[in-house]
Chain A
Amino acid sequence: DIQMTQSPSSLSASVGDRVTITCRTSQSISIYLNWYQQKPGKAPKVLINAASSLQSGAPSRFSGSGSGTDFTLTISSLQPEDFATYYCQQSYSTPWTFGQGTKVEIK
């Protein structure tokens, strides 16, 4: 199985801050990497697929980068509605696996 390691596990930030979340995979996965946002009590929603392609409807302040084993999700200017948990997910090979999540909290 491909192991996914996100960092940090949690972070505190203020509205307007630039936030960066990292996802590292145990083997190279090219760009087979997606990012999801999950708000408390809600189902996850896809934000970015193929490492850097913004999903239709996702705000442009979200961006993704990376390939191989190292990936980044960036929120350019944190908004109140962005406080949530973010997960990376690889679709390079089954079993498809998720990172452990990064909880973004209000400072």
Chain B
Amino acid sequence: EVQLEQSGAEVKKPGESLRISCKGSGYSFTNYWITWVRQMPGKGLEWMGTIDPSDSYTNYSPSFQGHVTISADKSISTAYLQWSSLKASDTAIYYCARRKHGWFGEVNITWFDPWGQGTLVTVSS
């Protein structure tokens, strides 16, 4: 079974650093990009960025570029999302998801499946 297992909930203070993880299993980790998605309390889904675990190529949303770092360690099939200095506005659930893609006629479509269970990050003084 393909699974993404995320690290547990975190409670941090503003200014602290944090790294959360997402471990893939049941498939070849380097064959699929990993995406991170933010969901602020009571809000919708926001794509943060994507990493290719085979070579660590990353693509960030401009909204998150410079605020977070996405990385991966293919030797342990794990992707990471990292902050160097958290803010209260970083309070959210963060999901990782596997990027899948396929051909539908002449177009190559990307979608996210499966998703990890989510990691709740709470930043409060």
Contact = CB atoms under 8 A, between A and B. Distances in A.
Given A43-B116, A43-B118, A98 B45 contact: yes
Contacts of A96: 35, 47, 61, 110
Contacts, number: 72
Helix, strand, loop or mixed for chain A's interface?
Answer: loop
A95 B102 CA distance: 19
Q: How extensive is the interface on chain B, given as a class?
A: 20 to 34
Interface string B93-120: 0010100001010010111111111100
B111 to A, nearest CB: 4
A75 B59 CA distance: 34
A36 B116 CA distance: 14
Interface string A7-40: 0000000000000000000000011101010100
Interface of B: 35, 44-47, 50, 59, 61-63, 95, 97, 102, 104, 107, 109-118
Contacts of B114: 43, 45
B52 to A, nearest CB: 13
B122 to A, nearest CB: 16
Interface string A75-99: 0000000000001010100111111
Helix, strand, loop or mixed for chain B's interface?
Answer: strand
Nearest to B35: A96
Given A43-B118, A44-B95, A50-B104, A95 B61 contact: yes
A49 B109 contact: yes
